[in-house]
Structure 1
């Protein structure tokens, strides 16, 4: 009777163990050959446990047990041999002829065991010999895995080798004894279940350690917590059922009524107990204290903090407050940030009625907490039980408030502030681990809020930068308009009676009025207008610019040249016509300013296979290579004093590069300069310059 009870318990626990291992494997995502084989082991392990269990309870024969055991041995052999290879298919993992021969022998033994369930082929003693051979094969595979594994990795596979070594060694002794005595010793036979129970945790430990198995099993605190709740609930209901049954037996006539009342009362107690938040929190504290080395699962905590900070529905201050409150389960809290040497409440959690008391606490405790980076325990501070590196007059602190702790929000480069927290419900008392987690979270949140503040200032700075940039370009346009009007005024002394000059002057004034209206419109809208793209004839544009700049000496001359048989005069560019004219006009004006009046300024246009090249050459003063590299295209850097803005060359470079082209500059001091503007004839998607 005792043997039957022991055997049933051993095989029952082994079946539960294989099911538990299977469920844990389901929590892992990465797939591998070894993980699939572990699934197979769990399946055959459950079948083996059930058939062994049923052999005693249902008086089954031994044939189903031997078949299930053969299948389990095959799965274990495949796991051991595949672990010697990094390949993820059986064909590649089992390449040795010895391994393939042993696997074939195991498959033949399993096939014969399956046939024997329906036809009495061979005698039982031969099958016992087969299983002795399976145990020997299992021991050989275990030894091969341990011996051929690199010494630095033996710690990972040692539990597996130990568990399966004991499993196969036990079966080796069992079947050796059976062959010698021609009978299976009953106590020896029923102990197999307990050997499996011993081996399962060791298999699980190896699955946790070996990374290339892809089955790093993780048991979270939540699983332990909810499993404990179910276990406690089941134990409670079992005790209540036994007590109710006892009342019914003892009560005789009134037993049924007493049993019903007892069940109703126990149900109320059960519901109130398990719906109690304090009970659940105390259970969490108990599990954390007694089942885990650390009080917190830091990976989970940081992931939850990151998730809270990524929430776009809340303000950054609310997210930062929730990130601090959540790990400790505080029922009330608030966040205050230091602004102009004063702490201002930025976010609160269920503390709308306590702001006056909170302000008093902030005025007395916030500065010392931030300055010394000290977590202040307010009740301990009032009772004199906390030694602090600063002096506080506790008589001035308010008494009617829900706050227990002052946590500084500070780091070397972050925002400074404090949290006021009510008593945590996640722990019975705050220890060093709670304080370290508070400090770590507060430092992270300080940096997070500092990034938020920096982004706010950067956004404002970008707005001012955009406005300043717009103003610079508009002033540059105004300067060009003024230059045109000044030129008319200067030439009017000599040519005021010339009808052609008068017509040209009115045309110039009309153009200046249009440009001034455009500048005023952009100022009123506080933004630069988008470019008005149109088809512009490049040569016509260069001719117009050269004619306008001919009023200054030396007069620019335009030359056409083409390496192809096509004329360059027909090529057009899709861009802003006014801005293109301004760019070329500025480059030609710079060449004139750097060249004596008797010098030469030449504009050359040339069509090449991929680019339309406009070269502006002069024989003026020239520039040094250092000036070209460090100052020429630098905005607001000018050599003209108050007469220049220093953005003409910069604007030209930006505009040409926006079109997909580029500018090359060759210059020699005392000899002159050549600007070459390369405009692409095509880009990735469309034609830029076309006929």
Structure 2
């Protein structure tokens, strides 16, 4: 059987040598730096297979040919790993020179001994060659291991395959020789199987000859994990076997004790891995850290991330799958191994509030569960992924009253919060994700930051598309709303006809007291109906960019108070000389709407206050009432949405348009309210002095 395998190996390597010679040198050079040395190695292996077939494995003739084979293999390793792209350390260079010298001496001495002694070799020859072969095999394994580790980034599949084939052959030969040296007996069975191992090495040359796999070869994480499990199981069996052997040597009942202890340890380890998420997370971190070049398996993670984001599109999932905001939080959390996540969305005043959570229960109604305008602006401008542990270390070294930190105190205080990820879409932040600390906490590195940044951009595209769909739906509702104005125009036409008829009748019946009384009553009713229609049809959208300028606030408030006097007395307080940057008509329209809502919400005789001051570089106008108030959920979800109103017959457009106008002028509207205790609407506008100073600074810089 050994002779047949040797002949097959001889034929196979001879064919591989001819195939490599026939391959274009340019094509082979693209795979490895010295393709001609691979051809030499294949030819030397074919020459070695000849004495294997003629004289058998383990013969002195085969040992002499083996020295020639090892010399060719070392030459290929030298030209592959001893280069600028894969430098070899100085100790390995010395080892390589020593191995080449041993191979040459073995080749020369073996050939000379056979030439002088004929077919029968000297008695000392086989042990000497065996010892030399052991040294060469050990050194060759060291060179392969070091070369692959230090140059793995630049190696391709053919190079890795050939180097692995060399390592397999040397490892097998070293194992056979060590068994013989330790036992004092020749491992004849293993020696006879040597041609079979040589045949297993042949596919590596075929991989190189067929130009298979230009890309870098590496195990997938699944294959690596399964290999580790198999190795662990094998190690466990080896330990059990050694324990049993030692127990048998010692005697007594130690064998059963050893078996019981091993079983307890195995069951305890397995149970700990099943029950404890922290242990599983720790094991995953250790495996990733020490066995893989990168923390993330990008292909697998990206497929899972994309599948999580798009899972709700099928419409066949549960409530979590249909909620895009929750899917975004879940996808980002699973990417980093976080057990939970929060997703914050922009509110009415520009600040961000917790809108959704995944496995992280939190009181979204809490006042402090927000991200301020300043914090949101800083995150948007810097696009910085915040490591909250680093922020906590920095905050502990500063004054607690220092307000230069953008991250709110409630996030700093909650040690579960680990990372803050801004979700940006074309330089505009549309959401903020807060990730829960993993079971095994670790510091963020460059790979985490890159993955979270790219994942945030992809999640932003999904959120932006969802917002576009909502905007399109609202636009369609506006379209439908505009069509309803045909009925209003019909009412105006009826009023015009009624007034025209009244005017014509007045020419004939103006002298009758009854007619004059009816005419006055009709005119009052018609005027009231026209006023209502005009209020409903009044244009609210303006172009603040074209009309922006310095606007004094106090005159506007006084005029609004005078107009509202027939309905309610206003208490107006304004800082002297306060001026905002915007459009006077737009500011008047916003304040009028807020005052009208405050009057409607208050009982008769209850005053309404309007206060204007400068605060934090902005103009602040507060409209305060003591009316019925609103719930927090209504303020967050419905107040500033179109077509939602608490008034009977209201269209729900006033607050929505007021906010749009304020934001167009660079301002915002904040609301504080409690049911039964009134409401406070705050209009924030750019301060005219601050805007003028900024424009002056830009002009100077130009």
- Same fold by TM-score, threshold 0.5 exceeded? no
TM-score range, shorter chain: 0.3 to 0.5
TM value normalised by structure 1: 0.43
